[in-house]
Structures are given as structure tokens and as C-alpha cells.
Structure 1
């Protein structure tokens, strides 16, 4: 299956660089990887294209005889550790979900062999389909199928949240305490570690969020994808969901964090996120309709969605700051992207989170 065709905050990464088209993109040693592919899968001539860099991990399409055959996903250049870029963990999650009702990429191998690559990588089948990155992508879905497509996304999210964590062998991903509380600490720490700028709004929003964590009894726990939005799914021409991708931020915790994030993506100005998503004006159902569909699919009341939407905006601000810093330090491969563009919106996202919290209070 294909991995995300455009999964991050920068659209311009979709076009492969000249280096990628030549067969040797940054992050791939074609001789070592080619030898491994030849031994494991019998393919002699492989071409490599940059598929996406996402927020962090590098993703490549591999072509055989000019046809897309596989997808390879590896950590970013300069990566020195940390679960956010742990592609082996991401691959294991996708492999575990393979037998469930959740549509995921078909993982062929999770490779950790310095003789092939200096970092672990996930090797997957390619899947025909497209992500929703632009109005033109949305227009590919027939008008009379778009509402069903939107509700299909929600049903897919409900399927993720209904997975029995222990039954699929992901028990060890459980952590003590609240996912929200852990992530508030984690993302603030990562922001303070990586940032090169003074953005006090990040700490201000963190403090408000930390003081209003919803009670545990109103927060169902299960698999939380962590980045569930339209451009992290692959669609067939009829709008049905073929695969959910970008599992690098997945954790066991409050599942409503996903619903809040999904709603936030649909209601926050595009200029704040630089991510295009379909809106009501494009024929997408309202946020209220989507929440109602989620409640119908799960049989549970979705409490505190506004809080989780605010948390999503704050987390996205922290992530964007990381993208900006990696760009200005040359750790995003051969991506041709203006760092200023990637850095825009961090303060606006934080302010948007505060606005949502004020409305909820």
C-alpha cells in the first residue's frame, strides 16, 4: 500500500527533486537497499521517488519497470532517537492492525540492519489511490458520494477506537496515567528543546490545557492515531477509505483526542495550518454532524470535543515548530521548501487554541 501522498504541513514537498528522480534521493543508499530488495524480492532495477517527508519521517515510492511497487519509510536525516520518529514502532502498529477492520498499509518487512540502512525502516506494498490534499483531489470523488466519504472517515476512526489493544498484541504500548497529561509534558519539552525562537504563547496555552484536563470517566481509552485527518488517508475513486497512514504519533490513551483533532482540522483557518481539508462549503458535513456520526458508530457520548480540538491546535503548533527548525538546520532531506513558510502559523495556532478554550469555558 502507499503511504501518505501528502501528510504534512508543506504541500510543495509533493514534487520529487531532480536527485530523487535520478534514483538516489537523500536518505537512500541505492546500492545497499537495491541489494536487499534483489535478495528478498528478486527485483533487479528499482527507481526511487520522494513521496513525502511528512512532519519528519521520509517516505519513498519504489518503482519497478516504471510501475509503483513498494513504499519505504525511514526516520528523518539526523535522527538520533525518540518515539515520534520510530518507524519500527509505526510499522509494528500497522502490522498489528492488519487483521482488524481498520484499513492500513500492508507491511512486508520492518528492517533494522545497518548493512542495508543506518536506521530502521518499514517496507510496504504500494496501494493505488489518492489522499485529499487539494480541492482537485476532493473533486475526484463524485458529488453524490462525498457525504458518504466524510462519514466513512468517521466510521474508520470509530473502527480504530474499537480495536481491542490486548487482542492485537499492543499491550506494551500502554503507559500509566493520562495520554493528554503525558503529551502536554512531552510536546512542551520537545518544543523547548528544538525551538530557536521565543514564542511565549506555547507555554501559556500549555498551562491552560494542563489546568482543564477532562476527568478520566468521560474519556474512553483505546488506540489514538494521533494525526487523523483527510490527507492521512488513501481513497479509492468512489471515496471509500483504502488505508489510514502516518501512525508515528499513535498511542494508547484518550481516543477523543483524535475526534477533537479531526474537528479542529475542519474548523481552523487553512492559513493557520497550511493543510487543505474539505469544509462545509465544499459539501463536507458540519462538525456537529460528524460528532453525531461518531457517537452513533461508537455508541458513546463524545464529551469535551472542544477541549481536545484546542489541544490538537496546540500540539500542531509544537509540531510545526519542529518542522521549521529541521528545515533551517538541513535535516529534512532534499526538500525544496522555504523555511519561513513552514514557520508561519505557530503563534496563530496557539492563539486559535486559546480562542477555543475561551469559548468552551
Structure 2
């Protein structure tokens, strides 16, 4: 095997040896895949062609289910036989002789995420509205999955997802932040006080980060795969709908991503919610609350990304730390404004 350079997070000799033993390919190259800012994702190329994808925890990983790559791989593998489009997981590797942390090795999925207006423009104009509804249809498909039938019933936890995540994200925020941001605690307290009554009627797989740049699209607008399942949990599925709506209505500068709006051929929020209810059979109640919760959670996540960037735990990802850190307070304030309007 010839010497191969690789991004931080991959030992090319150890991983290359594993690939050769497993797939009989001795010459590969690695590059950072610009999807996700938490777990690290790389493409593996053979003869200049993208063949596989390798996903591992961030550098300096210390545990926690948000970065449990093996768990994420298991979820994708379980969804493979369902109507939910996911990448094909080939192997979940937990071998310190190959890598110091577990990683997921999967087939490369062709297509592109929607990160920019140029990405959206790659889809023919007469298909964009259908593509948007396809995102909602796919979300409904995720929420219709029988958790027990696909073997993920053991992921259930007592109580409601919102209750657990309020506790979890506040704890993670306080553990990782190196700044004083009192708005995070303020919004947390309002969310806890105004939490909708827990009900078993809309419980299922909640993706946790459902937005256009976590999907891989074909040129005709078809969704080839939903990616980034690291935040997935079993709980109130309307948290996903609230998050999706929040990402479509929050200013781009606060989310660090571009998303299409009605002016770009995207349906209105009302149309998307009606489509979701029709396809899922679930009544979309308290969507504003779940959107506010999503903004607060996003603020916590952004603070974690910011801290990992300034401490060098994000590998070679080309992402400005100040961009990641900016807007945390603004997201929290916007969440608070939604909660006040709701009341």
C-alpha cells in the first residue's frame, strides 16, 4: 500500500488496511464531506470515483448519545428495508486496531444536499414545489415507521422527548460552553413551563435535525437519502415538524444555512403542515411551541460546535468559529418571542 495523506480523524494506514481486507481495494483517497458539523464525515474514493462514506465521532470525543456513531449506523441500517430513503450501511466498525472510536462505513449516495440557492436551482423549476412536498412526505414516512417492527424498540425512554431533551441540552450546553449566555436558561424555563401535555398518540422516530441540507437529492428533486441521524430519538414526532418549520422561517444568518422560501417556489407553512397531516395521519398541534423548542435546541447545538471549533476538535472542516458562535443569543430571543406570541 502506498503512503496516502488523509484529513485529521483518519489514520490512512489502519483504515486503508481494513478496507483492503474487507473489500479487496488497496488504493483509496479520503476527503472531507461537507455534510454535518458535529460527527465527522469523509468520502472514500477509488480511481477518482466516490465509492464509500466513513462517519466517525468528532476529535476529542468523550461520549454521549448525540455523537454515538454506532447508534446512528444502527438506526440507518434498521430503516433500510422501510419506505424511508437512507444510505446503505455496510458495516459498523468498533475495533481500536482500525480506529480509536467506532465508525460507520456505508455506500456513497449520489446526489446533492440543498445548501445554497444554486443547489435549489439545480432542480427544475416545475419540480421544486413537488420536491418540497416530497420532503414532508418523507418526514411523514419516518414518523409512520413501526419502531418495534424495525427492531428499535429498545431506544424508547421513559417520559416525553421534550422533557428529556430540555434536561439534556441544557446540561450539555452548561458542560461545554465557555461563555455566559443567560438567554439559554431563560428560554429553557419557559419551554419547561409551557410544555404540551405528553401523549402516546404521536410517538415514533424523531429524526432530530430534519432540514434540506440533511437530505441528498437527485437532479429531478427526488430524495435519495436522509442523512445525519445522530440526534434521532423515540418520542414526540411533532418535534421534527416544528424544527422543519423553524428552519424554513428563521433568518438564514441565525441558522448558518440557506433554505428555500415561498418566493423560491416553496409552499407556505400552512400548506406544508396540511400536507404533513394528510400524509402522516397525525394532527399537527402546538407547532409554534415545537418550533420555539427547535430554535432553542439549535442555539445549544451551535454553542457546542463553536466550542469544538475553537478548541480544535472539528478536524479540517473549513468553518469559521465566529460564524458558528454568532447568533446563539438571537436564536434564543426569537424562540422566546414565538412562545410569547403563542400565549
Q: TM-score, normalised by structure 2?
A: 0.98
Aligned to 2:163: 181
**1:71 counterpart (53, 60, 82):** 53
**1:196 counterpart (178, 185, 192):** 178
Aligned to 1:345: 327
1:96-115, aligned counterparts within 5 Å? Answer: 96-115=78-97
Deviations 1:292-314 (CA, angstroms, capped at 9, x unpaired): 00001012210000000000000
Q: In the alignment, does 2:242 pair up with 1:263?
A: no
Aligned to 1:3: none
Tell me by how many angstroms 1:359 deviates: 1.2
Aligned to 1:155: 137
Q: In the alignment, does 2:337 pair up with 1:355?
A: yes
Aligned to 2:76: 94
Aligned to 1:130: 112
Aligned to 2:30: 48
Distance in 2 (CA, whole Å) between partners of 1:59 and 1:43 is 20
SS in 2 for 1:132: coil
Distance in 2 (CA, whole Å) between partners of 1:336 and 1:278 is 24
Distance in 2 (CA, whole Å) between partners of 1:111 and 1:252 is 24
Native 8 Å contact 1:219 1:255 kept in 2: no
Aligned to 1:313: 295
Aligned to 1:227: 209
Aligned to 1:8: none
SS in 1 for 2:199: helix
SS in 2 for 1:248: coil
Structure 1: give runs of 5+ residues left out of the alignment.
1-21
Q: In the alignment, does 2:302 pair up with 1:328?
A: no
Native 8 Å contact 1:324 1:342 kept in 2: yes
Distance in 2 (CA, whole Å) between partners of 1:197 and 1:317 is 13
Tell me by how many angstroms 1:55 deviates: 2.8
Native 8 Å contact 1:219 1:256 kept in 2: no
Q: In the alignment, does 2:121 pair up with 1:145?
A: no
Aligned to 1:27: 9
Deviations 1:124-182 (CA, angstroms, capped at 9, x unpaired): 00011000000000000011100100000000000000000000000110000010000
Distance in 1 (CA, whole Å) between partners of 2:53 and 2:279 is 32
Aligned length: 340
Distance in 2 (CA, whole Å) between partners of 1:271 and 1:133 is 13
Tell me by how many angstroms 1:217 deviates: 3.3
Aligned to 1:217: 199
Tell me by how many angstroms 1:337 deviates: 2.8
Tell me by how many angstroms 1:216 deviates: 2.0
